[in-house]
Amino acid sequence: MNDYTLAPGAPRPRRLRRSAAVRRLVREHRLNPADLVLPMFVKESLHEPAELQSMPGVHQHTLDSLVEAAVAAADAGVGGLMLFGIPAERDEIGSQGWAPDGILNRAIAAVRAAVGERTVVMADLCLDEFTSHGHCGVLDAVGAVDNDATLDAYTRMALAQAEAGAEVLGLSGMMDGQVAAVRHALDTAGRTDVIVLAYAAKYSSAFYGPFREAVESPLQGDRRTYQQDPANGREALRELDLDLAEGADIVMVKPGLPYLDVLADVAAVSPVPVWSYQISGEYAMIEFAARAGAIDRMPAILESLLSFKRAGADAILTYWAAEVAVEIGAAR
């Protein structure tokens, strides 16, 4: 029989876990609806919202249903809305991305008019949703992404999105010099008020699969020549330094859960806010595991989001943003 007991005065960390009230009082990190950003998809040719098979609970929206869902998210207290557009027609250069009457720019204006200043309206600034080849940039004569020609397209998109009412532009294409090009274009046009969110560390990940369904990507091949190699960590800090020098207001690490180490490294040194994106594959894994009865859905969702906060994220893009905001509010 083991009669060993702790000596008087020995450390007993369990005292701080003895009840739900004590655990809540000493908790190091908390989720707040204002820290959550909801990615949303609007499809030009739709007549009614369409649920995504690979992302249960997430929809491609019509313009009307997008506005309705945006208002509901704002009512729940989410910090922001990140809008993605799926045009009825695509071309080689993605010109619908900067067309004033393009679906994304119309959506920005409609959502901004509906939510006002109650939440922050953001727009994805990338060509992949708008090009017929599905790449994030303009292609050259041999089919490779032409970095500098793409920057010209990005500046056009930036000005169009700013004019439509976007408060934050999410530069997700991972082109060299994209932050400097967009910041210069905005400032030259007198739009010094528009915030540049740099996807400083965006990895070429296997977890983007469901997103391809969401934007109906026609991509053939991959994006490994511009998105980062999943094997590299220090490279993210170099990308961070470049984006900061070019004028980024906020920086992003994407994906989320597989790159919490990178997120922590970036958060430890960044002088500007650091965000992360819980991407489509991460969402799908939890949803399908919960549907299979393998995990308890909402506790798993909340635990996954807390891991971002613990790693240093100031805000999190997540497809659960509105639902979790309601959950958090109900628990208070």
Q: Closest by alpha carbon to 182, among 98, 274, 262? A: 98
Which residues does 12 contact at the CB level (< 8 Å), separation at least 6? 6
Q: Rounded to whole angstroms, how far apart are CA atoms 14 and 29?
A: 18
Q: Rounded to whole angstroms, how far apart are CA atoms 294 and 29?
A: 26
Q: Where are the beta strands (DSSP E) in 157-248?
A: 168-171, 195-202
CA torsion angle 98 103 104 107 (round to 10): 130
Q: Closest by alpha carbon to 206, among 282, 116, 263? A: 282
List active site positions. 202, 254
The neighbouring-strand residues paired with 277 are: 317
Q: Closest by alpha carbon to 54, among 206, 214, 204, 205? A: 214
Exposed, middle or buried: residue 245 (CB in 10 Å: 0-12, 13-18, 19+)?
exposed
In the numeric block, which tokens belong to residue 229? 């190699």
Which residue's structure tokens are 């500007």?
272
